[in-house]
């Protein structure tokens, strides 16, 4: 997510209702009520990575989708392109804002979740499963070591929410 | 996480303040997109009206779904798709535009998400309006110039403002940057109209 900069060109007191993701026994429940999956790695910009062999799957976390609100559009790269760690590879538009999506690690895009074109709401309803965004072939697997684990990310979210 | 470039004096972060009057909304959006992507400073842009009425859609806006295309083409109303998200708005000389482009750390109590940002900005505008209900006929309470001045005063409660003169024609005429914000051409609108909301060209319109 593009957290370094934000832009607002409206002034509106509308409240966006938050969504609660259905929890399964495999999920860790954080005190902020956003789910965090064990076994994934997390970026401070709220993307997750699932590394399985030579493929890494990337999406945004439950914390991110909850704070964004209803997702109405997702802009993703084409297969064959490359992504770089901490750099933007797409954007997700919610009802009131667009946020850049940053890749946690570098690599070549080998698959894109085309279901998100017709059903961008999958990111809200299933951020870790049906709402996955891209699959890449990592070029520097060592970059995973700099990412957070589930417990660390949970604590990060709690501290971030508590400070605001 | 990047360290913000904006210098701070005391507790208030620095905010570059740019004021326009009657600047075309397309140019304003081009400037804002450049600043968001290329500057690490904090910016506030205030534009007192745009020179011509226009329809401005969000990033994913589809004109076939959001716009009465035939009427727009007949009346020569510009249709713009902007680089930011959100809904479709109609703007004209009566619109007052206030844009904030800020580093995450500029307002520590605000998270970079829609709800948090909108809540913060609503409080700021309440300072300017001194009025509880945001949705009301502002002209019944404040002249435009007074609202703009009070908005600047409210901003100065949170930021150390630095007036900046921007030659918007010079900045936005540079071709070194590819804008996402674009003015839809007549041809694009015609094609969207032919496709309709389904996005498919009717069989009768196909050249067979």
Compute the nearest-CA separation of B130 from chain A (Å).
14
* A21 has pLDDT over 60: no
Q: Residue A116's Cα: distance from chain center in Å?
A: 13
Strand order in the sheet with A98-102: A71-75, A88-94, A98-102
Interface test with B, best of A1, A3, A10 (most B CBs within 10 A): A10
Question: Percent of chain B having pLDDT more than 70?
Answer: 85
Contact A79, A89 (CB under 8 A): no
Reported as a pLDDT band with limits 50, 70 and 90, residue A30 is: very low
Give contacts of B 109-168 with A, CB under 8 A. Answer: 109-119, 121-122, 124-125, 134
Q: Where are the domains of chain B?
A: 3-106+159-205
Residue B136 Cα distances to A58, B111, B153, angstroms: 44, 28, 21
What is the 8-class DSSP label of residue B169? H
pLDDT the model gives residue B4: 36
* The predicted structure's pLDDT at residue A162: 84
Q: Are strands B12-22 and B43-50 parallel, antiparallel or unpaired?
A: parallel
- Residue B17: pLDDT band (50, 70, 90) is very high
**pLDDT for residue A79 is more than 90:** yes
* Segment B96-115 mean pLDDT: 90
* Residues B142, A157: Cα–Cα separation, whole Å: 42
Q: Is B155 left (phi over 0), alpha (psi -120 to 50) or beta?
A: alpha
* Nearest neighbour of A6 by CB, restricted to B104, B109, B124: B104
Q: Do A67 and B115 touch (CB under 8 A)?
A: yes
For residue B201, what pLDDT is reported? 59
Per 3-state DSSP, chain A is made up of helix, strand and coil in percentages (nearest 5) of 20, 35, 45
Stated as kind and residue range, the H or E segment containing A158 is helix A150-162
CB B78 within 8 A of CB B52: yes
Residues A164, B116: C-beta atoms closer than 8 Å: yes
* Other CB atoms within 10 Å distance of the CB of residue B57: 20
Contact A11 B97 (CB under 8 A): no
Closest chain B residue to the Cα of A68, Cα to Cα: B113
Strands of the sheet containing A47-52, edge to edge, are A41-42, A47-52, A55-60, A134-138, A107-112, A82-83
* Test the B interface: residue of A1, A2, A11 with most B CBs within 10 Å: A11
User: Average pLDDT of A42-51?
Assistant: 97
Q: Is A16 within 8 Å of B2 when comparing Cβ atoms?
A: no
User: CA–CA separation, B40 vs B38, rounded Å?
Assistant: 7
Cα atoms in the 13 Å half-sphere on the side-chain side of B39: 17
What residue in B sits closest to A9 (Cα-Cα)? B99
Q: Supply the DSSP symbol for A103.
A: B
Return the ∠ at Cα A160 (arms to A43 and A105), rounded to 5°: 5
Whole-angstrom Cα distance, residue A8 to residue A137?
A: 35
Find which of A32-36, A53-57, B121-125 is predicted with most confidence, using mean pLDDT: A53-57
CB contact under 8 A, A68 and B114: yes
Is residue B64 predicted with pLDDT exceeding 90?
A: yes
First to last CA, chain A: 18
Average pLDDT of the segment spanning B182-190: 95
As a whole number, the mean pLDDT across chain A is 84
Give the chain B residue whose CA is nearest to the CA of A87. B1
- In the Cβ-directed half-sphere of A149, how many Cα atoms lie within 13 Å? 4
Question: Residues B89-117: what's their mean pLDDT?
Answer: 92
Pick from B5, B29, B85, B135 the residue to mutate for testing the A interface (most A CBs within 10 Å): B85
Alpha-carbon distance of B99 to B88, in angstroms, equals 16
For chain B, helix, strand, coil in percent to 5 are 35, 20, 40
3-class secondary-structure state, position A162: helix
pLDDT digits (tens, 9 = 90+) for A4-17: 455 544 333 332 22
Q: Tell me, what's the ipTM?
A: 0.73
A14 phi and psi angles, rounded to 5 deg: -60, 140
Q: Model pTM greater than 0.90?
A: no
């Amino acid at each position: 997510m593009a957290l370094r900069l934000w832009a607002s060109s409206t002034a509106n007191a509308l409240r966006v209702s938050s969504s609660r993701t259905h929890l399964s026994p495999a999920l860790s429940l954080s005190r902020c009520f956003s789910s965090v999956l064990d076994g994934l790695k997390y970026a401070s910009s709220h993307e997750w990575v699932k590394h399985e062999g030579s493929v890494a799957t990337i999406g945004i976390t439950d914390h991110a989708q909850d704070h964004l609100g209803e997702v109405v559009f997702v802009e993703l790269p084409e297969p064959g392109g490359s992504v770089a760690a901490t750099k933007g590879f797409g954007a997700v538009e919610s009802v009131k804002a667009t946020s850049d999506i940053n890749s946690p690690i570098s690599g070549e895009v080998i698959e894109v979740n085309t279901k998100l074109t017709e059903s961008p709401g999958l990111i809200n309803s299933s951020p870790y499963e049906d709402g996955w965004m891209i699959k890449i072939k990592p070029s520097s697997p060592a970059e995973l070591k700099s990412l957070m684990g589930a417990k660390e990310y949970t604590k990060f979210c709690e501290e971030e929410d508590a400070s605001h | 996480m990047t360290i913000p470039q904006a210098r701070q004096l005391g507790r208030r972060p620095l905010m570059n303040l740019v004021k326009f009057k009657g600047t075309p909304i397309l140019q304003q959006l081009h400037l804002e997109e450049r600043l968001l992507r290329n500057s690490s400073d904090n910016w506030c842009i205030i534009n007192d009206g745009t020179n011509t009425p226009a329809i401005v859609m969000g990033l994913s806006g589809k004109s076939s779904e959001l716009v009465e295309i035939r009427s727009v083409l007949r009346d020569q109303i510009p249709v713009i798709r902007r680089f930011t998200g959100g809904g479709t708005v109609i703007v004209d000389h009566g619109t007052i535009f206030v844009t904030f482009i800020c580093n995450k750390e500029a307002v520590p109590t605000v998270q970079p998400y829609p709800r948090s940002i909108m809540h913060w900005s609503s409080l700021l505008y309440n300072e300017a309006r001194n009025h509880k209900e945001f949705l009301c006929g502002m002209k019944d309470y404040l002249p435009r110039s007074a609202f703009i001045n009070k908005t600047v005063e409210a901003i100065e409660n949170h930021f150390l403002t630095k007036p900046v003169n921007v030659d918007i024609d010079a900045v936005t005429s540079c071709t070194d940057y590819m804008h996402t914000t674009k003015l839809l051409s007549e041809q694009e609108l015609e094609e969207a109209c032919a496709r309709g909301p389904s996005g498919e060209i009717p069989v009768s319109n196909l050249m067979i």
